[in-house]
Amino acid sequence: MNLVESLRTHRLLAVVRGKDAAAALSTVRTLAEEGIAAVEVSLTTTDALTVIRRARAELGPDALLGAGTVRSAADAARALDAGASYLVTPALVDGLEPYGVPVLMGALTPSEVEAALARGAAAIKLFPGSFGGPGYLKALRDPFPEVHFVPVGGVDAPAARAYLDRGALAVGVGSPLVGDAADGGDLSQLRVRAAEFRKITAGGTV
């Protein structure tokens, strides 16, 4: 299953960012165990490339393990060498097309959405999602009905449901899902939150 197909099916992208590399790896492992199909490790995570490399070795070649906060082609090359299978950017980034992997490219305005599509984005990371909220996504989808939008930034449980109801392909969720797990926090609570978000993205309520 490719990235867009997975996001369409599971409707959730977990965003891992932390200060403890070992804890970040445990977080990725736990999310996978809890059935979160797509996980992004931000390059701002301590020793992020090692986390990606070790997670790839553990999860196998087919896992949807991506690198986030990719801000340049050089970032992309390092992340792909470590084992990332897709890239997530916070903004418009040039030079990623030659790598031939799906890119979830950051954009906010209609002009940025067009620019991201011109750069070969597989989907648009609507960032920061909290800037306009679910109503803004609904407005964007009027001129861009065929575009895959994934809101990221400030997406808690109620917002996740609202975005999905307004046509988001999926939602990208960082701290409301991961909490402090990637900094060495309680993994049991991470499992509870993962179950909560899986229920929401499957169409349930909390």
From the candidates 19, 33, 34, 125, give the one annotated as an active-site residue: 125
Instruction: Report the C-alpha gap between 125 and 168 in whole angstroms.
Output: 10
Instruction: Report the C-alpha gap between 70 and 67 in whole angstroms.
Output: 7
> Does an H or E element contain 117, and which?
helix 110-118
Q: How many other CB atoms sit within 10 Å of the CB of residue 94?
A: 9
Instruction: Report the C-alpha gap between 183 and 193 in whole angstroms.
Output: 16
From the candidates 5, 19, 40, 146, give the one annotated as an active-site residue: 40
**Which pair of tokens denotes residue 177?**
């899902």
Cα diameter, the chain: 44
Residue 40: active-site member: yes
In the beta sheet, which residues pair with residue 65?
A: 39
DSSP codes, 132-174: THHHHHHHHHTT-TTS-EEEBSS--HHHHHHHHHTT-S-EEES
Nearest to 157 by CA among 199, 190, 197, 198: 197
Residue 196: active-site member: no
Q: Which residues are catalytic?
A: 40, 125
